[in-house]
């Protein structure tokens, strides 16, 4: 399979890991949800991230899942999350998944980093651990990691670590950062692909400021693809119309900690996975929340009909 | 002026503090924005909170502002933020503003609290500092304070500190907490008013789960009032229609750190304050962000017209 | 090998992992340092903790080290650190090391836990992951984990999770916690062994308050054993005399982040390991620090001679 | 009174604020402890810091204390802590105390700073708030503030903010930082006085690496003065002998949160203040801790006699 490059664009869907209610991996659903993502416009997949319940998997399970998704995805690039407290785990998992045909690996900074120079030094070590030539996605997600990375620091990392080909942008607020990075490129900095996370809630603005697409797991990847495509064609109002129709649901899905249960509930209701179950200690939606999601889904459908 | 009670409901607007571009307080705009809030449905005001740039004020300025707003607001209750690292400051400011006619004070937990018992003990000390009989609003805002308070801990505080008459609810995710508190009341716990913050982004769901209203500074208080009113009459679809029209803008205003600049920009463009200036070290919107806000405002107007 | 029980006492040395300067594991030194610890009074060993550079090891390396140390230690109980962000890793590693003959596993709370109930719930899940009947050491180390655990919460965990047989006590300040736990036992709470960490810097006071010994990696385990032994015989002044002679060095070794380099430097200078090397990204002592340690070692020797 | 300069050296004692058991300020003891410090070798005083219970004081009380201590201290320079969440409070208090004759102000970074550029920018704003020409002490205390400042960032701040004349050094580990700053001076960086905090537990090493003295509140300032003096004369062994005699007590006093109670207990037992009381919500030593301190005091006396 081909490797990730700094030209990557479109929608890389953060894939869920389907489980049966008893906690075992549901491989049939894993195939189904992979197909589901690809049929709805995914240009790439990202697996074994926080929203893929990677921490709840044994190493053996993680590799089996990576192997299965990579094979199923065919020519579509698959990025694998390998963030870990230690470099040894990053090295091991990176080597394994690149052997299996992954397009690259994604690495978030460990939460104990504080100063600019610590962050820069970390990505030097992390890229070495990932292996020379392994494309790396830098996940910039301060709300979750507690690590704030200046645009200037990102640019220094991009300059020093040429294996970093993509930024998963989910700083919040982060729009000015997208602009700052694109401006720096205009002045000669190496181009890096910018795909946006944060549940997608700023996707129209991010695209207008020069992002290349989305990397998030919102349960309607077709919307992400539509927004990215419209933005690519300069149809910003159409992009925003579609986006706005989904926003009340998207906002609900973005709740920290609860979001994955919402996402799996929606995916199950769409038939993409058999069960909305999270592996313990995660819990599914309670009745009140499920009712709220159902209502938002119905309203979204109604609004979309008005748009046509 | 009458004191805040646990029956309080409606919309308590978190008021901005207007400044002139040179950083001096713009008292004329302070009067104007106070009127603006009241004319657009505010049933109360909250001043000297984080979004009121309270930390940038001298103590003398803070008291002058409190005096002016309380006088201008007339019969409308004014809650004053008195959160501080130490109890002495809480005691001083509480005494001063209650003398001036405040309806109550709002206190967020200091960021060094960790265990349940530390949090419980803190509110004992804080209520003593605020003064026996001073109505207290407990601000539960973990994203900003770093302090997570269990529903069970809130209930113990409510039971022990009868001066706590209101919860400013802005946990995220927090919908289940609203339900848990209301259920506990059904089983005999003392009722406390629940007004919701977090920029208002979950207001329809919060109202449906039993909240009494909103306490947030979104630049269109008439929307908050409309949502609360519709919800009170059981018109949940209408409430959500109005809410959805504003949501793209609301989402933009909710960006941490940047939100106040957005809010002041919108208030200035609505004529409620003369200048969008923040006092240093805060910065206003740059051109790209202002352009994005203008676009969202125009789209909001268009959408509202479709709704009528 | 026999399992750890709540009667455990003495000195469990936190073992280093020796590396050659090129970063490969130095198994010959691993055997030597194991013998070194046992010959100097260790009643147990703890491996694969933070000070064992566990995060820098591959899973395969970790198991090889566990197997080698457990075999070498013979009848002496070996506790294995299995803390991890996810339960799956805890389950995997616990099962593996218990099969190899470990006496128990040690688990620190992940840094995202905040409320009392989250902490309690976590240890329920963690004990399940470790496996029914696997003795668990609860590591209470807020300076490193950021998680503060009330004595009352510890007692609830001890009551609910009977597999927790030992507390690695390194809260700071923490003397009152030792007393509170022992008092609770006097009133019927289940007894749990308390071994003290924090580099040993409060060992005399901890022993006087009822601790059962030390679990730390100070490079002179014979001192820890001597203090514990003297305290056990009520010779508190002798215990403190010995302790005081080492305290200037111990204080130097307790520096966060730097301590392991000091410890390995001393162990190498004592002949217990061949090289003071840390695996990357760790760095050894620079010349100035090495000079300071040499000076403290010489002064310690001189002081000990005066004591005899 | 003369202003603080970058040539300052010796021992600046962090002064306690004495209270009567009922919580009122004990001004008679305030005079007495001021004299006590000066008679025991203090070359300066630092008031209204964390260990001066500044947060428990009203603004009026804080000014009264500053006025009284500054007057009592005569020609001895008094540094006043003015750290606050907002710049307005820094501006107000700085102006007030400089008017009263303070030698300078001390400012720690607020806990929300993360990136290098945020820290640099903050000290620009803070120095402006303190007032042009007001000598500023930068307090570098990551254990308490959560803000880690690189040596390179300190040097940039020193270069940009010429009013910063002193570093209160209490990073941990921090010895390499002292060396790095002194080396930079050797290469042309502006000299800044370095006084060391952290309870004094690394004072001998810090002096050997080029520090100018101590700024801490250990209850035996005569020891700090002795160590600084011996080090100044190159008598490093004598310095360390004295230090070691006090170290067991010093270690006990350094416990976070508990240390001030220990310090006041010792000061009261030495007759420097009338009561060991902390203002609420602080608590004094319980019986077990007081017993431990008494024992350490007796052992310290015995050891000192052996040294003569």
Which residue of chain A has the CA closest to C61?
A: A88
User: Whole-angstrom distance between the N-terminal and C-terminal Cα of chain B?
Assistant: 38
pLDDT at position D1: 60
Q: Say what the pTM is.
A: 0.97
Task: With respect to residue C50, please indicate whether it lies within any of the assigned structural domains.
Answer: yes
pLDDT at position A301: 97
Strand D213-216 to D193-196 pairing: parallel
pLDDT tens digits along A24-39: 999 999 999 999 999 9
Task: With respect to residue D264, please indicate whether it lies within any of the assigned structural domains.
Answer: no
**In this prediction, what percent of chain C has a pLDDT beyond 90?**
95
Structurally, chain D folds into a number of domains equal to: 1
Subunits next to B (3 or more Cβ pairs <8 Å) are A, C, D
Q: Is the predicted pLDDT of residue B1 greater than 70, yes or no?
A: no
What residues of chain B lie within 8 A of the CB of A248, using their CB?
240, 243-244, 247
The answer to whether A270 and A219 are in contact (CB under 8 A) is yes
pLDDT averaged over chain C? 97
Task: With respect to residue B180, please indicate whether it lies within any of the assigned structural domains.
Answer: yes
Euclidean distance between CA atoms A138 and A120, whole angstroms: 12
Q: Does B86 lie at the interface with D, CB-CB under 8 angstroms?
A: yes
Tell me the mean pLDDT in the region D176-203. Answer: 97
Backbone angles phi, psi at B58, to 5 degrees: -75, 165
Q: Is residue B249 helix, strand or coil?
A: helix
Q: How many CA atoms lie within 13 A of C116 on its CB side?
A: 19
Q: Does B266 lie at the interface with D, CB-CB under 8 angstroms?
A: no
Q: Does B24 lie at the interface with C, CB-CB under 8 angstroms?
A: no
pLDDT averaged over chain B? 97
Instruction: Check CB contact under 8 Å for C172 and D256.
Output: yes
Question: Residue B203, class by beta-carbon neighbours within 10 Å (0-12 exposed, 13-18 middle, 19+ buried)?
Answer: buried
C50 pLDDT band (50/70/90 cuts)?
confident
Q: Is the predicted pLDDT of residue B308 greater than 90, yes or no?
A: no
- Going by C-alpha positions, the residue among C177, C184, C169 that lies closest to residue C108 is C169
pLDDT tens digits along C10-22: 999 999 999 999 9
Q: Does C302 lie at the interface with B, CB-CB under 8 angstroms?
A: no
Q: How many CA atoms lie within 13 A of A131 on its CB side?
A: 18
Strand A78-81 to C104-107 pairing: unpaired
pLDDT at position B78: 98
* ipTM exceeds 0.90, yes or no: yes
pLDDT tens digits along B149-188: 999 999 999 999 999 999 999 999 999 999 999 999 999 9
Task: With respect to residue B296, please indicate whether it lies within any of the assigned structural domains.
Answer: no
pLDDT averaged over chain D? 97
What residues of chain D lie within 8 A of the CB of B143, using their CB?
none
Q: Does D121 lie at the interface with A, CB-CB under 8 angstroms?
A: no
Q: Is the predicted pLDDT of residue C140 greater than 80, yes or no?
A: yes
Euclidean distance between CA atoms B73 and B63, whole angstroms: 15
Interface test with chain C among D148, D173, D252, by most C beta carbons within 10 Å: D173
Euclidean distance between CA atoms D264 and D18, whole angstroms: 8
pLDDT tens digits along B218-266: 999 999 999 999 999 999 999 999 999 999 999 999 999 999 999 999 9
Strand C78-81 to C104-107 pairing: parallel
Question: Residue B182, class by beta-carbon neighbours within 10 Å (0-12 exposed, 13-18 middle, 19+ buried)?
Answer: middle
Q: How far is C127 from chain D (nearest CA, A)?
A: 31
pLDDT at position D308: 77
Euclidean distance between CA atoms A271 and A290, whole angstroms: 16
Euclidean distance between CA atoms B223 and B226, whole angstroms: 5
Q: Is the predicted pLDDT of residue D9 greater than 70, yes or no?
A: yes
pLDDT at position C308: 77
The answer to whether A106 and A82 are in contact (CB under 8 A) is yes
Tell me the mean pLDDT in the region D288-307. Answer: 97
Task: With respect to residue B265, please indicate whether it lies within any of the assigned structural domains.
Answer: no
DSSP at D183: H
User: Where on the phi/psi map is residue C137: left (φ > 0), alpha (ψ -120 to 50), or beta?
Assistant: beta
Q: Is the predicted pLDDT of residue A308 greater than 90, yes or no?
A: no
Task: With respect to residue C259, please indicate whether it lies within any of the assigned structural domains.
Answer: no
**Lowest-confidence segment of A142-146, B276-280, D49-53 by average pLDDT:** D49-53
Question: Which CATH number covers residue A149?
Answer: 3.20.20.70
What residues of chain B lie within 8 A of the CB of C115, using their CB?
116, 148-150, 153
Binding residues of B: 215
Tell me the mean pLDDT in the region D118-130. Answer: 98
In Å, how far are B120, D49, D264 from D260, measured between CA atoms?
A: 23, 12, 6
Q: Is the predicted pLDDT of residue A187 greater than 90, yes or no?
A: yes
Domain that holds residue B193: 10-233
Euclidean distance between CA atoms B77 and B3, whole angstroms: 7
pLDDT tens digits along A273-290: 999 999 989 889 999 999
Q: Is the predicted pLDDT of residue D205 greater than 80, yes or no?
A: yes
Euclidean distance between CA atoms C176 and C208, whole angstroms: 12
pLDDT at position B151: 98
Count the neighbouring beta carbons within 10 Å of the beta carbon of residue D7. Answer: 10
Euclidean distance between CA atoms A25 and A23, whole angstroms: 7
Q: Is the predicted pLDDT of residue B50 greater than 90, yes or no?
A: no
Tell me the mean pLDDT in the region C143-165. Answer: 97
C147: β partners: none
Q: Does D95 lie at the interface with A, CB-CB under 8 angstroms?
A: no
D45: β partners: D13, D78
Q: Does D176 lie at the interface with A, CB-CB under 8 angstroms?
A: no
Backbone angles phi, psi at A188, to 5 degrees: 110, -5
Binding residues of B for pyruvate: 215
pLDDT tens digits along A74-131: 999 999 999 998 999 999 999 999 999 999 999 999 999 999 999 999 999 999 999 9
What residues of chain B lie within 8 A of the CB of D59, using their CB?
59, 89, 92
DSSP at A169: E
**In this prediction, what percent of chain B has a pLDDT beyond 90?**
95
């Amino acid at each position: 399979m081909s490797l990730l490059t700094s030209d990557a664009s479109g929608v890389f869907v953060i894939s869920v890991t389907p489980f049966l209610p008893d906690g075992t991996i549901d491989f049939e659903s894993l195939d189904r949800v992979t197909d589901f993502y690809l049929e709805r416009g995914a240009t790439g997949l990202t697996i074994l991230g926080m929203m893929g319940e990677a921490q709840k998997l044994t190493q053996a399970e993680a590799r089996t899942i990576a192997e299965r998704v990579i094979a199923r995805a065919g020519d579509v690039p698959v990025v694998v999350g390998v963030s870990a407290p230690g470099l040894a785990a990053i090295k091991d998992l990176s080597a394994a998944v690149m052997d299996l045909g992954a397009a690259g690996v994604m690495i978030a900074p460990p939460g104990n980093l504080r100063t600019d120079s610590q962050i820069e030094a970390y990505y030097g070590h992390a890229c070495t651990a990932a292996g020379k030539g392994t494309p790396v996605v830098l996940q910039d997600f301060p709300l979750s990691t507690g690590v704030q990375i200046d645009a200037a620091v990102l640019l220094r990392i991009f300059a020093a670590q040429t294996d970093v080909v993509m930024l998963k942008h989910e700083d919040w607020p982060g729009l000015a950062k997208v602009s700052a990075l694109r401006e720096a490129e205009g002045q000669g900095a190496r181009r890096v692909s910018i795909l946006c996370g944060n549940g997608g809630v700023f996707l129209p603005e991010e695209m207008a400021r020069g992002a290349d697409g989305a990397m998030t797991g919102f349960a309607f990847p077709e919307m992400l693809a539509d927004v990215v495509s419209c933005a690519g064609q300069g149809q910003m109002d159409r992009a925003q119309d579609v986006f706005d129709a989904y926003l009340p649901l998207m906002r609900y899905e973005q709740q920290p900690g609860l979001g994955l249960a919402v996402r799996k509930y929606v995916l199950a209701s769409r038939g993409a996975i058999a069960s909305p179950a999270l592996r313990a200690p995660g819990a599914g939606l309670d009745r009140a929340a499920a009712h709220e999601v159902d209502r938002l889904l119905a309203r979204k459908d109604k609004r979309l009909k008005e748009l046509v």
